[in-house]
Amino acid sequence: MQRLLLFRVGSFQRLAIPLALVARLEEFPLSLIEHANGSPVIQYRNGILKLIALRNVLEPKATPNQDSTGLLQVVVIKDGTRSVGLIVDGIIDVAEESVTVKQEAGRTGFLGSAIVGNRVTDFLDIDAVIQASEKSQLRVSEGRSKRREETSRMLQPVGVG
C-alpha cells in the first residue's frame, strides 16, 4: 500500500507524488509573492520558500492559468536541508492503495504512470522539476536520490507472465 497525494496542473488532470515527500499543503494569497534571484518566493516559517509553478515547468508553452480566487495552492516539499513549494492548480485527494499497471514515462518531469483509484495517474519526478526550474544541473544530494528511489520503486514495470 502506498499513500499518495493526487493533484492537477494544467492539462495534467491527475498527478501523484508519495505523501511521504510532502511536508505541508498550503494556500497563499498572490499578494504575498515576492522575488529573490529572479525566482518567485514567499516568506514562510521564518525563512524564504522558493516557489515553482509546475504549469510553467510541465507545459512551458501553455497559457498561464488565470486564478480567480487570488490564492495559490502549494505543495511544500522538503528538499534536503531546504524546502521548495510546488504551485499546483488543485489538490484532488490523498489515496492509500496498491499501485498497479505501471508504464514508464516518455518525457522529462515524469517517472511513469499507474492506475490509482481506477484512473490513470502520472507520477511526477520532483528532482527533474526542481532542476528544470533552476535551469542548471544541480548536484544530486542524498535526499534527492532517496526520493527518486522511493518513487521509482513504486513504478517498476509489472512482469507479464
For 44-58, how does the pLDDT look when each residue is reduced to its tens digit (9 = 90+)? 999 999 999 999 899
* Mean predicted confidence (pLDDT) in 131-155: 61
Q: Which uninterrupted H or E stretch holds 33?
A: none
* Model confidence, pTM: 0.80
Each domain of the chain, given as residue ranges in start order, spans 2-154
Residue in this structure with the C-alpha cell 544530486, named with its chain if needed = 140
> Which superfamily does 2-154 belong to?
CheA-289, Domain 4 (2.40.50.180)
pLDDT of residue 79: 67
Long-range contacts of range 132-138, CB-CB < 8 Å, 24 or more positions apart?
Answer: 132/57, 132/108, 133/39, 133/52, 133/56, 133/57
**3-state class percentages of the chain: helix first, strand second, coil last, to nearest 5:** 20, 50, 30
